[in-house]
Structure 1
Amino acid sequence: MKPYRLKRGDTIGIVAPAGPVDSDRLARATPFFEAMGLHVTYGATIDEWHGYLEGTDDQRVADIHHMISDTSVRAIMFARGGYGSARLADKIDYELISRHPKIIWGYSDITYMHTAIRQWTGLTTFHGPMPASDVADEAFDPLSARMFRQLFAPETLHYTEDVSPLTVLAPGEADGALVGGNVSVLASTLGTDYDIDTNGKLLLLEDIGEAPYRIDSMLNQLRLAGKLDAAAGIIVGDFADAKPTHEPSLSLEQVLADHLSDLPCPVMAGFKIGHCFPHFSVPLGARAFLSTTRKRLTIEPGVQ
Structure 2
Amino acid sequence: MNKPRALKKGDKVTIIAPAGPADKKQLMQGKRVLEEMGLDVILGKHVFDVEEDIYTLDQKRLFDLHEAFRNPDISGIFCANGGFGTARIAPQIDYALIKRNPKIFWGYSDITYLLNAIQNFSDLVTFHGPMVASDLNDEERTTETVSSILSLFTGEPLTYDSKIASLNTFTSGTGEGRLVGGNLTLLTNGLGTPYQVNTDGAILLIEEVLEPAFKVNLMLTHLQQAGVFDNVKGVVIGNFQAEPDEHKDIKKVLQDFFTKVSFPVVENFQIGHCQPNYGVPLGVNARLTTSPPCLEVDSGVR
The question of a shared fold, defined as TM-score above 0.5 by the shorter chain, is answered with yes
Q: 1:35 to 1:240 in 2, by over 3 A?
A: same
5 Å matches for 1:92-241?
92-241=93-242
Q: 1:283 to 1:54 in 2, by over 3 A?
A: farther
5 Å matches for 1:42-121?
42-51=43-52, 56-121=57-122
Aligned to 1:301: 299
Percent pairwise identity: 39
Q: 1:7 to 1:54 in 2, by over 3 A?
A: farther
Q: Is the 8 A contact 2:78 2:105 kept in 1?
A: yes
Aligned to 1:280: 278
Q: Is the 8 A contact 1:119 1:194 kept in 2?
A: yes
Task: Give me the whole-angstrom Cα distance separating, in 2, the residues matched to 1:160 and 1:54.
Answer: 44
Amino acid at match of 2:293: K
Task: Give me the whole-angstrom Cα distance separating, in 1, the residues matched to 2:5 and 2:136.
Answer: 23
Q: Is the 8 A contact 2:155 2:299 kept in 1?
A: yes
Please give the secondary structure, in 2, of the residue aligned with 1:229.
coil
Q: Is the 8 A contact 2:134 2:140 kept in 1?
A: no
Task: Give me the whole-angstrom Cα distance separating, in 2, the residues matched to 1:266 and 1:195.
Answer: 22
The answer to whether 1:7 aligns with 2:5 is no
Tell me how far 1:121 sits from its aligned partner.
1.5
Q: 1:181 to 1:137 in 2, by over 3 A?
A: farther
Please give the secondary structure, in 1, of the residue aligned with 2:150.
helix
Tell me how far 1:258 sits from its aligned partner.
2.2
Task: Give me the whole-angstrom Cα distance separating, in 2, the residues matched to 1:2 and 1:52.
Answer: 36
Task: Give me the whole-angstrom Cα distance separating, in 2, the residues matched to 1:137 and 1:206.
Answer: 24
Tell me how far 1:47 sits from its aligned partner.
1.9
Amino acid at match of 1:194: Y
Amino acid at match of 1:275: H
Task: Give me the whole-angstrom Cα distance separating, in 2, the residues matched to 1:163 and 1:280.
Answer: 10
Superposed CA offset, 1:11-42 (max 9, x none): 11100101121111111111111111111111
Please give the secondary structure, in 1, of the residue aligned with 2:229.
helix
For these two proteins, the number of residue pairs brought into alignment is 301
After the TM superposition, which segments of 4 or more aligned residues of structure 1 sit over 4 Å from their partners?
51-55, 242-245
Q: 1:250 to 1:38 in 2, by over 3 A?
A: closer
Amino acid at match of 2:102: P
Q: Is the 8 A contact 1:124 1:284 kept in 2?
A: yes
Task: Give me the whole-angstrom Cα distance separating, in 2, the residues matched to 1:182 and 1:57.
Answer: 21
Tell me how far 1:242 sits from its aligned partner.
5.5
Task: Give me the whole-angstrom Cα distance separating, in 2, the residues matched to 1:265 and 1:78.
Answer: 33
Q: 1:54 to 1:270 in 2, by over 3 A?
A: farther
Task: Give me the whole-angstrom Cα distance separating, in 1, the residues matched to 2:244 and 2:198.
Answer: 29
Amino acid at match of 1:173: T
Q: Is the 8 A contact 1:209 1:240 kept in 2?
A: yes
Q: 1:159 to 1:66 in 2, by over 3 A?
A: same
Superposed CA offset, 1:27-64 (max 9, x none): 11111111111111111111210249796111110110
Q: Which runs of 5+ in 2 are unaligned?
A: none
Q: 1:217 to 1:52 in 2, by over 3 A?
A: farther
